[in-house]
């Protein structure tokens, strides 16, 4: 039986998606970045809230609707307070809501760069011969699985393909072609390292 080291990778994307809009100052299509700031407007008992975006060239603003004509009593007090104080966690959550952005804007640019936090789930067994990597996403990401593994394990993507073909690398639950798709939350993969000359280097890079 192989000695398996189980490690959890929590993936945090670096750059929020950027909608591309017609900027009335620049006079053309421009990318807009999230400012991390909210605008909240109260009209009697009705609340409107927007996440403010800025043109990357001229700083012109665009407001992305978060709440629209909501009754104050239907909004959790903690959420309203977070909006009013520009809570960075709430702003990041809305900024990475690609589905909501795409429902309003035709073109949204995504970025693959991410920070990976690695946590060993159990003590490393003696003579570790296989890795089990469990992937968790802080936010959705466009980063492909093969790029993630190549960057973090220090191996070329061609080697990952060979491992996959030989069933030394198995990805669940997506299975075939998972390497060429964006990283998905809950993905679990096993890498058999028996016979690999740089096994210890790969285990160390994985976080073990």
The β-bridge partners of 11 are 116, 137
If pLDDT is split at 50, 70 and 90, which confidence band does 89 have? very high
Q: Residue 175's pLDDT is what?
A: 63
If pLDDT is split at 50, 70 and 90, which confidence band does 1 have? low
DSSP string, 55-75: ETTT--EEEEEEEEEEEGGGS
The pLDDT tens digits for 9-38 are 999 999 999 999 999 999 999 999 999 999
Give the separation between CA 82 and CA 76, rounded to whole angstroms.
Answer: 10
Question: What pTM was computed for the model?
Answer: 0.80
Q: Residue 94's pLDDT is what?
A: 95
Please give the average per-residue pLDDT across 200-206, as a whole number: 95
Residue ranges per structural domain of the chain: 4-14+112-206, 18-109
Q: Does pLDDT of 130 surpass 70?
A: yes
If pLDDT is split at 50, 70 and 90, which confidence band does 178 have? confident
Q: Does pLDDT of 201 surpass 80?
A: yes
């Amino acid at each position: 039986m192989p000695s398996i080291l189980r490690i959890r990778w929590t993936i945090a994307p670096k750059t929020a998606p950027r909608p591309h809009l017609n900027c009335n100052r620049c006079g053309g299509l421009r990318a807009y970045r999230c400012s991390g700031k909210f605008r909240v407007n109260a009209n009697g008992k009705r609340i409107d809230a927007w996440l403010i975006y800025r043109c990357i060239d001229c700083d012109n603003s665009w407001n992305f609707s978060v709440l629209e004509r909501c009754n104050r009593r239907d909004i959790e007090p903690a959420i309203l307070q977070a909006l009013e104080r520009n809570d960075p966690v709430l702003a990041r959550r809305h900024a990475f809501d690609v589905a909501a952005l795409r429902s309003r804007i035709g073109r949204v640019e995504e970025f693959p760069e991410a920070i990976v936090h690695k946590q060993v789930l159990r003590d490393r067994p003696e003579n570790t011969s296989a890795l089990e990597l469990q992937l968790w996403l802080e936010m959705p990401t466009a980063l492909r699985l093969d790029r993630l593994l190549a960057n973090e394990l220090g191996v070329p993507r061609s080697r990952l393909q060979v491992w996959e073909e030989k069933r030394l690398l198995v990805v669940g639950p997506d299975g075939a072609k998972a390497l060429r798709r964006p990283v998905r939350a809950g993905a679990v993969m096993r890498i058999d390292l028996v016979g690999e000359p740089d096994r210890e280097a790969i285990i160390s890079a994985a976080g073990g």
